């Protein structure tokens, strides 16, 4: 039994900043990769950023230099700091965590319910 709780979404003006967080709880043995995805109305879900258990990060080109993904291993939490926000960043943002439970023999992907980010004047 694993639960991911997201927070930090909201309405912000262009050029503003938001920080999203996603905390995992439950019978977690090991957390592997973490990431953030987003989906705008009428568009496909896209990968925004990922971070491995070793701390390696990757970003989609449209957010490089503006977004920063980080993690706190002791709190089982992944963050997405979003700066210089643009209207095209408007979307529902979903946290994804690949992890192993104590009761399982394989790792699985878990998803947050999504948090809405709206960038508008």
Q: What is the pLDDT of residues 22-57, one digit of tens each?
A: 999 999 999 999 999 999 999 999 999 999 999 999
For the cut 90, the answer to whether the pLDDT of residue 1 exceeds it is no
The Cα 121–Cα 72 span in angstroms is 33
pLDDT digits (tens, 9 = 90+) for 61-109: 999 999 999 999 899 999 999 999 999 999 999 999 999 999 999 999 9
Token pair 């920063």: residue:
68
In this predicted structure, what is the pLDDT of residue 86?
A: 98
Q: Are 110 and 13 in contact (CB under 8 A)?
A: no
Query: Encoding tokens for residue 3?
Result: 């639960």
């Amino acid at each position: 039994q694993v639960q991911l709780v997201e927070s930090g979404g909201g309405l912000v003006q262009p050029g503003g900043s938001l920080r999203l967080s996603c905390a995992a709880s439950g019978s977690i043995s090991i957390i592997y990769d973490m990431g953030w995805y987003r989906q705008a109305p009428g568009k496909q879900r896209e990968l925004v950023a990922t971070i491995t258990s070793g701390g390696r990060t990757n970003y989609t080109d449209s957010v490089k230099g503006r977004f920063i993904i980080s993690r706190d291993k002791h709190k089982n939490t992944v963050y997405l700091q979003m700066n210089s926000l643009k209207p095209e960043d408007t979307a529902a943002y979903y946290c994804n965590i690949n992890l192993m439970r104590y009761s399982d023999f394989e790792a699985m992907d878990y998803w947050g319910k999504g948090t809405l980010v709206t960038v508008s004047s």
